[in-house]
């Protein structure tokens, strides 16, 4: 996961605008998991691209590896098992433990704990952790595609991925219309979600690098204005598709789903690439620790954030005022992030084995 979403495959080069993008995206993930109205404009915009963007970024970073086509399948598989599935196991254990503690403290039985444990074991993932097994399968499929089609032209690859995207998204849409429960049932949800995510990884692999190269060849001010304009327009028109949720395969109109996922993500990345993102230290730090935040920002952490927001709410009420929604959700997100950062510090400082398999140091 960290290799996929933090650096290129050699692990030595970090791209500041990618860290910034991930930092902003994980903040949107937290905001999307608050009790903000599901049919609100903000929620529709967030869900139109925030999770597809993570997969597109993974594809972009795969394309940055000059040795990808020379890498053996077993080598790539082992690397992804260590980089994605190992953190899935350790962070799922942490997340499920927090659910257990919450159930224990609130004395409400252990139904949520049992549900979280079941979803973890069956690779459905608890809350946002569904992303990791899905990313694992998507990157493996992308690697196989790149290896098998390395002699084909980019246009041919794009047409192939477009066909896969169309067939899968239409199948998902039809199944959802027939019975939403069909898409919720595992493993159908896992398989279809992985294929959809695979197409986003491939679009990132095939298109994103070329767009970045084009962006570097034009005037930076023009790039900022152009990408910002496209992003704003994309966000505006994305509200005409219903609220999306890739985790449960609720994609609305398939054509609009792909259109705005790609347009919003690519314009978002081009905009950040054109800005001095290396100066955004806090956002970049959040982006470097996306995986930890993704695992623990829900349940107990979110409940604590809701308890904290009662303080400013009462302060507003004291003056016979109602706390604006913008301030309410901003406060919840900030408190949630603050609590997550405590875990980030502890894990990075004292429990590094949570993210990376410990290796024995060789005596020199």
Q: What is the pTM of this model?
A: 0.91
- Report whether pLDDT(254) > 80: yes
Q: With respect to residue 62, please indicate whether it lies within any of the assigned structural domains.
A: yes
Is residue 355 within 8 Å of residue 304, measured between CB atoms? no
Q: Which residue has the tokens 């139904």?
A: 111
- Report whether pLDDT(362) > 50: no
227 burial type by CB count under 10 A (0-12 exposed, 13-18 middle, 19+ buried): buried
112 burial type by CB count under 10 A (0-12 exposed, 13-18 middle, 19+ buried): middle
Pairwise pLDDT comparison (6 vs 109), residue with the higher score: 109
Give percent of the chain above pLDDT 70: 91
Give mean pLDDT, residues 105-127.
86
The pLDDT of residue 349: 94
Picking from 155, 173, 331, the residue whose alpha carbon sits closest to that of residue 256 is 173
The pLDDT of residue 203: 95
Q: With respect to residue 128, please indicate whether it lies within any of the assigned structural domains.
A: yes
Give mean pLDDT, residues 307-318.
94
Is residue 198 within 8 Å of residue 142, measured between CB atoms? yes
Is residue 208 within 8 Å of residue 267, measured between CB atoms? no
Count of domains for the chain:
1
Q: With respect to residue 263, please indicate whether it lies within any of the assigned structural domains.
A: yes
Pairwise pLDDT comparison (364 vs 98), residue with the higher score: 98
Q: With respect to residue 346, please indicate whether it lies within any of the assigned structural domains.
A: no
Give mean pLDDT, residues 53-70.
91
Q: With respect to residue 321, please indicate whether it lies within any of the assigned structural domains.
A: no
Pairwise pLDDT comparison (178 vs 351), residue with the higher score: 351
179: confidence class by pLDDT, cuts 50, 70, 90: low
The pLDDT of residue 75: 95
- C-alpha span between 271 and 321 (Å, rounded): 38
Q: With respect to residue 291, please indicate whether it lies within any of the assigned structural domains.
A: yes
- C-alpha span between 29 and 163 (Å, rounded): 29
Helix, strand counts (H, E) of the chain: 18, 0
The pLDDT of residue 249: 84
Residues ≥6 apart with Cβ < 8 Å to 166: 254
Q: With respect to residue 305, please indicate whether it lies within any of the assigned structural domains.
A: no
178: confidence class by pLDDT, cuts 50, 70, 90: low
Q: Which domain holds residue 73?
A: 2-300
- Report whether pLDDT(94) > 50: yes
12 burial type by CB count under 10 A (0-12 exposed, 13-18 middle, 19+ buried): exposed
33 phi and psi angles, rounded to 5 deg: -95, 5
- C-alpha span between 92 and 245 (Å, rounded): 21
By mean pLDDT, which of 123-127, 197-201, 233-237, 265-269 is the weakest? 123-127
Cα–Cα distances in angstroms (integers) from residue 158 to residues 145, 204, 206, in the given order: 11, 11, 7
The region that residue 323 occupies, defined by phi over 0 for left and psi between -120 and 50 for alpha, beta otherwise, is: beta
The 8-class DSSP code of residue 14 comes to: B
Q: With respect to residue 203, please indicate whether it lies within any of the assigned structural domains.
A: yes
Which segments within the chain are labelled E, that is strand?
A: none
């Amino acid at each position: 996961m960290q290799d996929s979403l933090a650096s290129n495959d050699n692990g030595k080069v970090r791209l500041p605008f990618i860290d910034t993008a991930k930092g902003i995206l994980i903040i949107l993930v937290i905001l999307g998991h608050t009790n903000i109205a599901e049919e609100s404009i903000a929620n529709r915009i967030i869900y139109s691209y925030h999770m597809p963007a993570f997969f597109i970024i993974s594809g972009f970073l795969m394309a940055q590896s000059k040795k990808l086509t020379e890498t053996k399948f077993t080598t790539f598989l082992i690397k992804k098992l260590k980089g994605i599935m190992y953190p899935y196991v350790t962070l799922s254990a942490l997340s499920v433990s927090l659910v257990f503690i919450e159930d224990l403290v609130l004395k409400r039985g252990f139904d949520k704990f049992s549900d979280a444990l079941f979803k973890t074991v069956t690779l459905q993932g608890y809350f946002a952790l569904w992303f990791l097994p899905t990313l694992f399968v998507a990157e493996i499929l992308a690697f196989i595609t790149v290896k098998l089609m390395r002699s084909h032209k980019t246009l041919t690859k794009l047409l192939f991925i477009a066909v896969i995207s169309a067939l899968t998204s239409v199948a998902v849409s039809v199944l959802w219309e027939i019975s939403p429960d069909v898409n919720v049932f595992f493993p159908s949800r896992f398989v279809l979600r992985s294929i959809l995510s695979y197409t986003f990884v491939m679009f990132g692999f095939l298109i994103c690098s070329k767009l970045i190269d084009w962006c570097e060849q034009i005037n930076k001010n023009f790039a900022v204005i152009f990408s910002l304009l496209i992003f704003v327009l994309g966000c505006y028109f994305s509200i005409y598709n219903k609220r999306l949720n890739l985790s449960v395969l609720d994609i609305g109109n398939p054509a609009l789903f792909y259109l705005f996922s790609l347009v919003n993500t690519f314009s978002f990345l081009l905009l950040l690439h054109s800005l001095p993102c290396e100066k955004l230290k806090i956002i970049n730090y959040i982006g470097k620790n996306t995986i930890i935040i993704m695992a623990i920002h829900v349940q107990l952490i979110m409940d604590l954030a809701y308890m904290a927001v009662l303080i400013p709410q009462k302060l507003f009420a004291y003056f016979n005022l109602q706390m604006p929604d913008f301030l309410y959700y901003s406060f919840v997100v900030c408190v949630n992030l603050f609590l997550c950062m405590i875990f980030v510090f502890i894990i990075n400082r004292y429990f590094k084995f949570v993210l990376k398999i410990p290796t024995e140091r060789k005596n020199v």
